[in-house]
Structure 1
Amino acid sequence: MSGATVSVIVAIVGVGGTLASAVITQVLAQRAESRRSDREEWVRIAEQRASEDQRKIDQLRSCYVQLNAHDRYYRDAMLAYAYALKSGSADAEAAELSNARRAQRDTRAEAQLVASDAVLELESRVNAHLTTAYRDLMEVAGESDPSARQVRLNQVIDLLDSIIPQQGHVRARMRLDVRATQELPDWYNPEIGLTTHHQTSHR
């Protein structure tokens, strides 16, 4: 093989090597760019999901704050009305009760769209007792016998007091839903949502 031929072969190999090196470099660069793009897309999707999740938690927290406040407001307004009836005139308390009942009804309507099933189930029991107490109060207001009126008012007050621990269960479940706590308290009863726990901190 002549020296010229060898030179040509060497030149061809050198050019081929250079071209192959360029191709390999380009492929590696494309793979690196693809991995970088994939990582950026994964981060973007993760951030988007986290943002959406936080938005839902914030919406739920706002709903729960209102529901908890208005359930308590409704109960307190009925209690004030009951004590006012025991004393005599209750016109001012009746107006306040009407406002509380309307606010609680509107808040429950919103909660039924966003609250968890667990919270709705527990809160519906609270609402059932509140509804019973309201019906009884309206009947007592028309009671003409003073003695019977006092007895029935005491029964309504007892019913309203019994709602306090139930509301504590609702709040415990709400706190879990909005991630304010990682677990339910020891006194929580997941089966019936009732408890004999009567600590004043639940008021």
Structure 2
Amino acid sequence: MGNTLIALAVAVVGVAGTLIASVLSPRMLARIQAEQFERQQRAADAQWIREQRVAEVEKRRACYVTANSGYRRHRIELMKYLWLVHKAEVTASARADLEETRHSMHTAFAEAQMVASDAVLRELDAMTVTLAGAYSRTLLLADGDPQPGWSFEEIQTELLRLGDRWKDMRGIMRADLGVDPGPADA
């Protein structure tokens, strides 16, 4: 009888194991698949976040390029116009060119207000104020009604000083993009 009981016990354990395995196996498989799905979901989420960050940086970079170009172009055109005022050779075409670059600068500034960092916006705001002041003083000078203390030379000096300020602004833009600011005198 001892062997019979052992054989019966082994048979019961074997049958029970087979029955339990058929119940536990799908559960374990489901758990493994759920964990695998969660890992894939986390990886996909992380990839999406990386792609969004790259797209955001690219958008800011394009904005900074446009702003930098627009502001520089307006400054150069303003310096050319100031020189024409000084030589008394202002033309309607020169005034139209100045206005076109001014509007391009304002468009670039409007775009920057939507995507630029606070540090870059502070620099652009200051640059805008300085350029607007030089613009209005230049127009008053052209009309023969200069503001006291703002002769041709003083306006020109202010516009030339903006070149140094450009280096600071460029460094802030590059730092915001995670790029080495580069040499200060480049």
Which interval holds the TM-score relative to the shorter structure?
Answer: 0.7 to 0.9
**Cα distance in 1 for residues equivalent to 2:46 and 2:6:** 59
Report the alpha carbon displacement of residue 19 of structure 1 after superposing the two structures with TM.
Answer: 2.6
For 2:111, the equivalent position in structure 1 comes to: 110
The question of 1:62 aligning with 2:62 is answered yes
For 2:159, the equivalent position in structure 1 comes to: 160
Q: Answer whether contact 1:123 1:167 (CA < 8 A) is retained.
A: no
**Cα distance in 2 for residues equivalent to 1:71 and 1:121:** 14
For 2:36, the equivalent position in structure 1 comes to: 36
Q: Answer whether contact 2:134 2:155 (CA < 8 A) is retained.
A: yes
TM-score of the two chains, using structure 1 as the length reference: 0.80
Seq. identity, % = 24
Letter of the structure 1 residue corresponding to residue 48 of structure 2: Q
For 1:93, the equivalent position in structure 2 comes to: 94
TM-score of the two chains, using structure 2 as the length reference: 0.87
SS at match of 1:90: coil
Q: Answer whether contact 2:109 2:124 (CA < 8 A) is retained.
A: no
Instruction: State the superposition RMSD in angstroms.
Output: 2.4
**Cα distance in 1 for residues equivalent to 2:5 and 2:161:** 105
For 2:16, the equivalent position in structure 1 comes to: 16
Structure 2 regions of 5+ residues with no counterpart? none
Report the alpha carbon displacement of residue 20 of structure 1 after superposing the two structures with TM.
Answer: 3.2
Report the alpha carbon displacement of residue 107 of structure 1 after superposing the two structures with TM.
Answer: 1.4
Report the alpha carbon displacement of residue 9 of structure 1 after superposing the two structures with TM.
Answer: 3.0
For 1:79, the equivalent position in structure 2 comes to: 79
Report the alpha carbon displacement of residue 174 of structure 1 after superposing the two structures with TM.
Answer: 1.0
* Segment of structure 1 superposing worse, 54-63 or 2-11: 2-11
Letter of the structure 1 residue corresponding to residue 141 of structure 2: V
Letter of the structure 2 residue corresponding to residue 131 of structure 1: A
Structure 1 regions of 5+ residues with no counterpart? 188-198
**Cα distance in 2 for residues equivalent to 1:82 and 1:116:** 32
SS at match of 1:180: coil
Any idea what the Cα deviations from partners look like across 1:167-191, whole Å, max 9, x if unmatched? 111111111222223xx5686xxxx
For 2:179, the equivalent position in structure 1 comes to: 180
**Cα distance in 1 for residues equivalent to 2:21 and 2:102:** 79
Report the alpha carbon displacement of residue 21 of structure 1 after superposing the two structures with TM.
Answer: 3.7
**Cα distance in 2 for residues equivalent to 1:119 and 1:6:** 84
SS at match of 2:151: helix
**Cα distance in 2 for residues equivalent to 1:3 and 1:153:** 118
**Cα distance in 1 for residues equivalent to 2:7 and 2:145:** 124
Report the alpha carbon displacement of residue 17 of structure 1 after superposing the two structures with TM.
Answer: 2.0
* Segment of structure 1 superposing worse, 10-19 or 58-67: 10-19
**Cα distance in 1 for residues equivalent to 2:145 and 2:70:** 31
Any idea what the Cα deviations from partners look like across 1:40-68, whole Å, max 9, x if unmatched? 01110011111111111111111111111
SS at match of 2:89: coil
